[in-house]
Amino acid sequence: DAVVCVISFKRAEPTDSNDAHAAVDALLVQCAHLLKVKAVGNRVVLAGSFTPPGEQWCADPTSPGGETHVVTGVAAAVADAVHVLHALRDLGVVACACVAVGPVVGAVVGRDRLSYDVYGDPVRECHFAVEQLTVPPSSTAIPSGASAAAGVA
């Protein structure tokens, strides 16, 4: 499994968006388990931990039987994502974000200009959540008179 984090920056001047992307890059230097996969416009996709299958298990010396346990790569990637989101929130540049965990596939795509991207349910879930969170409030407003039927008090 991998962690996917999609961040949408507040819409602002292009220089502000560049500053937000630069802040993400600076924060990712501090992260051991999260990488920038893609950046398009005011949105960035981060993903990790891509631990090779042979390195996912380790012996637990504190366990009486010496059982093996999954190394905390995914948990560490979630912690890295929370660290990045917290710092970006403090900078006031995040409009919304989503973090999801699950299986993903990475691929180099394109014909004339190659790029790397990740695909899978966590990616779709994050993009969908960010889209829903960035919908203007007026487009999701309940029509007048429908509040009782919609269960709104």
**Every domain of the chain and the residues it spans:** 2-140
**pLDDT tens sequence for the chain (153 residues):** 899 999 999 876 666 678 999 999 999 999 989 999 999 889 999 999 876 554 555 555 565 655 555 546 788 899 999 999 999 999 999 999 999 999 999 999 889 999 889 999 999 999 999 999 986 655 444 444 443 444 343
Phi/psi region, residue 151 (left: phi>0; alpha: psi -120 to 50; beta: rest), is left
Cis peptide preceding 49, ω within 30 of 0: yes
H-helix or E-strand spanning residue 102? strand 94-102
CATH of 2-140, one of 3.40.50.620, 3.30.70.1230, 3.10.129.10, 3.40.190.80: 3.30.70.1230
Phi, psi of 83 (to 5 degrees): -60, -50
Please, how many CA atoms are within 13 Å of residue 81, restricted to the half-sphere of its CB?
25
Residues 85/91/92/94 CA torsion (nearest 10 deg): -30
Enter the tokens of residue 113.
């200009």
75 and 1 Cβ atoms separated by less than 8 Å? no
Cβ–Cβ < 8 Å for 35, 4: no
